[in-house]
Structure 1
Amino acid sequence: MSDAAGDRVGPLVRLAVVVAVFLAAGAAAGVLWERLWDAPAGLSFEGEWFLEPAGPDVAFEGIALFVLIAFPLGVVLAVLAGLRRGHEVATVLTVLVAASLAGVLMYAVGSSLGPSDPQALAAGAPDYTAIPGDLGLNAPDRDRVPYRSTALVALPAGAMTGLVGMYLLGNRGLAKRSHG
């Protein structure tokens, strides 16, 4: 194998490992998100589901938990990806794409493990039937679009924060400086 081919394979393998680690961590974070979340209680009334008690603190607990898990995870994974120097532009682009995919995967895994859509369950349920809420990234309203949430940028934002911190501080910020 020539040196030019070896120079290309090394970074490609490293970037593929970065993507794989981000995706595995995103799936694990989705499981953690679902395990830590408490489903809000709700009732069916005239074919619709309503939070009981209603309020933004109850409705957005799952979103806040998503962000509290995703942002630090993105920071840690990006710091690990930025430890090895070289091919910084490719690393930044790979981390951004991998973090975005990991955020979507985190949502998909967490929401698939959680309860079903309460609006769909309430459509055929008798009035005042207790139905747990579902795990999502937006308010539990009718006609909501599941992936339309700014919370999905938490993992990529954390990743970019961690990577920028690594590249700005680098070894100089973490290493002892000589006094002589």
Structure 2
Amino acid sequence: MSEPATRRSSPLRRVLFVLVLFAVGGAAGGVLWERLWDAPTGLAYQGAWYLEPAGPDFSFEAIALFVVIAFPLGLLLAVLSGMWRGHETATLVSVLVGACAAAFVMYAVGHALGPGDPQALAAGQPDYTPVPGDLGLTAPDQGRVPWHSTALLALPAGAMTGLVGTYLLGSRGFVRRPRG
């Protein structure tokens, strides 16, 4: 005999599936973010690190790359989650929570794989020694927290866009039409 339909696709199973999917996707996004990013080089001068050449195009490249990867990643993961019909409320909540967690996982993995804190690396170096910058989501200024950025909202924004699109438009292409 077959199991009842409610047991086969329980809301708890759905939530766990979506959370694991987003955690794995966030980790993969972090690896991709670090691999595609070119570390800007700065110089050590009097025990401090300075970006060289200075400018917003060098200091914000990591932020732009994070957003370019995170939004489509959230979109794709949400579409995959939304294609599994039933328990839409549980799916919505788990996609939102999973997308927020995945954004932090993506940041944590990419930051951990990237170079260390340039201020700490420059502290013991002689003047004008090249030191690579670190992978963060803010300008590389001294005293800034590297993850205080609205770029972390890119993955949840992409996920909500993908889920809404799946729920509004997805039923047209996946519903079996009667023949006859």
TM-score, with normalisation over the residues of structure 1? Answer: 0.90
**Per-residue deviation, 1:14:** 2.1
The residue type paired with residue 56 of structure 1 is P
**Per-residue deviation, 1:93:** 0.7
Q: Could you tell me which residue of structure 2 aligns to residue 93 of structure 1?
A: 93
Supply the distance in 2 between the matched residues of 1:176 and 1:54 (Cα, whole angstroms). Answer: 58
Superposition pairs of residues 163-178 of structure 1, within 5 angstroms: 163-172=163-172
**Per-residue deviation, 1:5:** 7.1
Is there any run of 5+ residues in structure 1 with no aligned partner, and where?
none
RMSD: 2.3
Aligned to 1:139, the other structure's residue is in SS state coil
Q: Could you tell me which residue of structure 2 aligns to residue 37 of structure 1?
A: 37
The residue type paired with residue 6 of structure 1 is R
Supply the distance in 2 between the matched residues of 1:72 and 1:18 (Cα, whole angstroms). Answer: 17
Is there any run of 5+ residues in structure 2 with no aligned partner, and where?
none
**Partners of 2:14 and 2:90 within 8 A in 1:** no
**Per-residue deviation, 1:129:** 0.8
Supply the distance in 1 between the matched residues of 2:68 and 2:175 (Cα, whole angstroms). Answer: 29
Q: Deviations over 1:102-150 (max 9, x none)?
A: 1100110001011000011112221111000111111001111122111
The residue type paired with residue 74 of structure 1 is G
Supply the distance in 2 between the matched residues of 1:152 and 1:86 (Cα, whole angstroms). Answer: 29
Identity %: 65
Supply the distance in 2 between the matched residues of 1:126 and 1:49 (Cα, whole angstroms). Answer: 11
**Partners of 2:14 and 2:91 within 8 A in 1:** no
Supply the distance in 1 between the matched residues of 2:21 and 2:91 (Cα, whole angstroms). Answer: 13
The structure 1 segments of at least 4 consecutive aligned residues displaced by more than 3 Å after TM superposition are: 2-5, 173-178
TM-score, with normalisation over the residues of structure 2? Answer: 0.90
